[in-house]
Amino acid sequence: MQEHIQLTQKEINRDLLSGVLKSPKWWLPAVLVLLVVFLIGAAAFGYLLNKGLGVTGLNRPVMWGVYLVSFVFWIGISHAGIMISAILRLTQAEWRRPVTRAAEVLTVFSLIAALLSAPLVHEGRPWRAGFPIPWIMPWDFARGIWPNIRSPFVWDPSAILTYLTASSLFIYVALIPDLAILRDRLSGWKSGFYSVLSLGWRGSPRQWKLQAVAGILLSALVLPVFVSVHSIVSWDFAVNIGAEGWHSTIFAPYFIIGAIHSGVAAVATVMVAMVWLWGWDRYLRPDHFDAIGRLLIVVGTTWFFFFFLEFVFAMYTLEGPELAMRDLQVFQYPWSILFVVFLITAFFFPVPMWLLKNVRRSMFWMFVTTLSVNVGMWLERFIIIIPGLLRRQPLVFDWGTYHPSIIEILMVAATFAWVLLGLLIFARIFPLIPLFDIKEGMVGREEIKIGRRKVAASIRE
């Protein structure tokens, strides 16, 4: 049954601005803990810069380790924002309203975490990675040094920076009406701060029209960027014919659907956290979890189909090195354990659970199952990247080994701390649930009586 709570504009303002106008008690300790974890990771990065990549667990032939795993993982999580915001906005799904901004913010901080994970620490001479970026920009052209456009070093940053720009713009455009509310409620320098950001918003019909058009246009324009980013990340692997298990045509769709699976699951996790931490249970109702649970069943099953195709066609090649790599992945310790854990946590545990309505409408179970998906999806990237590089083939002289070092572990942990820190700080400065969207939803909400039942309805223009 769909249950809605009709709230007044005053109540909405009071509830949703509470996180901005005053700090919850847990906020500062949480920020401090995350900051410490982040700084430890930054110190590890400083040590790496000083000593070189030798301090990591990376060695020939396994030159890509958990940095790359983390990179692909965060790119995946970043797909949540656009999936939830753009697609659901274009399809006019009503349940998107309280979820969109948190998803978009997750996108931005995940993208930065992805940039921190690999390109800045992993690609050699990172001190030259500031402006100008030698891998991308033709800054050395006077000496005839141009970036190699056939290299993923150029593809990835171009795609990710475009996506980051588009996503930031996406958040900003949707924030403007809420910034104006904050401007009008605060005084002094705070009012000035929000006044500058709100770009003179007064809520005139023309401004609303432009805002709606900008939202729709950005939604439509950002979708190709969203698809291109993870396609390009997948092609970093798939265009390579040297590593076993990577040269597969299915990688782009497989990575995209995997990214949506992990991204949407992450949004659901954040939704539960929003209810538990800020008490927004009047906005994030069981209906919303039910809807995202249904979406996750479809996405998760499609992801599994692509995983199945990827695996089946690795066998279909009947090539010795490919079969040897799959044997390593599935049957040899410790990869076999990781493989089983990956399958259970990414698919066999959460998806059947979501088939149960009670699970979909339970915040606890949604938290557990969606967290499980992301454990599984992190492992998925791990067992794609590392066994592919181990080269456990008949020529044993080429065999590799890999154990992540403490430096790598600290830096990966720092990316998690960064994303959580970003979300908490954002929520302290800007409303994490869009006020205007919620109010619009309340205005457009209706009920239709059919016989003895009342059915939830909404106004369509």
C-beta of 435: minimal distance to other proteins in Å?
21
Q: Which is nearer to other proteins, 1 or 396 (CB)?
A: 1
Calculate the dihedral angle through the C-alpha atoms of 23, 113, 360, 369, rounding to the nearest 10 degrees. -110
* Residue 329 beta carbon to other proteins: minimum distance, rounded to whole angstroms: 16
Smaller CB separation from other proteins, 142 or 448: 448
Closest to 437 (Cα-Cα) out of 104, 77, 27, 1: 104
Q: Which residue has the tokens 């800054």?
A: 139
Closer CB to other proteins, 59 or 240, in the complex? 240
Closer of 2 and 195 to other proteins (Cβ)? 2
Element holding 259 (H helix, E strand):
helix 251-278
Q: Which is nearer to other proteins, 251 or 378 (CB)?
A: 251
Q: In this complex, which beta carbon is closest to other proteins, that of residue 317 or of residue 401?
A: 317
Q: Of 51 and 454, which has the nearer Cβ to other proteins?
A: 454
The Cα 64–Cα 52 span in angstroms is 15
- Closer residue to other proteins in complex, CB, 276/313: 313
User: Least separation, in Å, of the C-beta of 2 and other proteins?
Assistant: 6
Take residue 433 and report the two structure tokens written for it: 């649930």
Min CB(125)–other proteins separation in Å: 26
CB 347 to other proteins: min, Å:
16
Q: Whole-angstrom Cα distance, residue 377 to residue 346?
A: 6
* Structural contact between residues 275 and 363, judged by C-beta atoms closer than 8 angstroms: yes
Could you tell me the CA-to-CA distances from 83 to 23, 203, 217 in Å, in that order?
A: 30, 28, 15
Residue 269's nearest CA partner among 367, 403, 350 is 367
DSSP-derived letter for residue 106 is: H
Determine the Cα–Cα distance for residues 456 and 4; give it in Å rounded to an integer.
8
**Cα dist. 124→13, 16, 133, 135, 136 in Å?**
49, 45, 12, 10, 14
Min separation Cβ 40 and other proteins, Å: 40
| Nearest-approach distance from CB 92 to other proteins, in angstroms | 10
Dist CA 425 CA 95 (whole Å): 25
Q: How far is the CB of 446 from other proteins (least distance, A)?
A: 5
* Helix pair 435-443, 152-185: axis angle to 10 deg: 70
Cβ atoms within 10 Å of 244's Cβ, excluding its own: 25
Q: Which CB, 142 or 318, lies closer to other proteins? A: 318
Nearest distance, CB of residue 315 and other proteins, angstroms: 5
Q: Which long-range contacts (CB under 8 A, 24 or more apart) does 201-206 make?
A: 201/176, 201/177, 203/177
What distance in Å separates the CA atoms of residue 121 and residue 124, rounded to the nearest whole number? Answer: 7
Q: Which is nearer to other proteins, 184 or 440 (CB)?
A: 440
CA-to-CA distance for 72 and 117, rounded, in angstroms?
Answer: 9
CA distances for 334 relative to 48, 404, 432, angstroms: 28, 14, 41
The site for other proteins (CB under 8 A) is made up of 1-2, 224, 227, 231, 235, 238-239, 241, 247-253, 305-306, 309-310, 312-318, 446-448, 450, 455-461
Nearer to other proteins, 305 or 348 (CB): 305
Q: CB of 301: closest distance to other proteins in angstroms? A: 9
Closest CA to 388 of 63, 123, 109: 63
In sequence order, the 6+-apart residues with CB closer than 8 A to the CB of 201 are: 176, 177, 179, 180, 207
User: In 10 A of CB 322, how many CB atoms?
Assistant: 20
Shortest distance (Å) from residue 274 CB to other proteins: 25
